[in-house]
Amino acid sequence: MGPAVASSHHARGAPVASSCLQMSGRELQRFHSLISVNGSSGCHEFTRLFDLGYGKFFLRGKTWRAHRLSWTISYGEIPGGLFVLHRCDNRACVNPRHLFLGNQADNMADMVSKGRHFGRSRDTRLSESDVYAIRFIDENTALKQVQIAKLYGVSRNQINNILCGIRWAHHDRRGV
C-alpha cells in the first residue's frame, strides 16, 4: 500500500484527512484535471493511463491506481490488506462515493454478485468480427472508447481491454 496522501482541502473545498504526506494544490489540480464526470452514472472516470482498466496516476515517483489515490485523498490511508472496491463496477471510476473498502473475501463476493466469476467470459457478447471491427474503428476514426462501447453495448473498460490486448489477445489485428 502506498503512503497516505492528503491536502488541507479537497478540490471542492471540503477538508480531507491529514496524513504524513501532504498533496499540493497543484498535484490535486493535476489529478482532478484527468477526471471526466459521467452525468448518467455519477461515475468520475479517470481519463488517462490505464492498467487493466484502472486509471494510473504518477505522484512524486510513485505510480498509484487512481481509485486508490482518490480513496486516500478523501478518506485517508488504506489499511493494510484491504482493497478499494467499486460499487459501480467501473474500474475507471474514482468517485469516492462509489468506492468502499473490503478484504479479499469481500472482493470475491463482489465479483460473484456482479456476474464476473468462474470463467464466465466478458467477451461472450462480442464475436470475433466485432473485435476486428472495434480495432478498425479505433484506428481509423476519431471515436472515443466510450462511444465505441455504446455502439456494441459493452463497457468502456471492455473496449480498452480489447485495444490493449488484455482481452481477445489471441486474435491478431488482421481484419476478417
Mean pLDDT of 39-64: 90
Cα separation of 12 and 84, whole Å?
22
Confidence of residue 69 (pLDDT cuts 50, 70, 90): very high
Mean pLDDT across the chain, nearest whole number? 79
pLDDT higher than threshold 80 for residue 108: no
pLDDT higher than threshold 70 for residue 136: yes
Confidence of residue 6 (pLDDT cuts 50, 70, 90): very low
Cα separation of 87 and 50, whole Å?
19
pLDDT higher than threshold 90 for residue 63: yes
SS3 category, 134: helix
Tell me if 58 sits within 8 A of 30, measured CB to CB.
Answer: no
The predicted model scores a pTM of 0.57
Domains of the chain in sequence order: 5-113 (3.90.75), 122-163 (no CATH)
- Which string of DSSP letters, residue by residue, matches 25-39? HHHHHHHHTTEEE-T
Helix residue ranges, H only, 41-155: 66-75, 104-113, 128-140, 145-152
Cα separation of 127 and 13, whole Å?
47
Distances (CA, A) of 34 to 50, 59, 113, 134, 168: 12, 13, 30, 25, 28
pLDDT higher than threshold 90 for residue 128: no
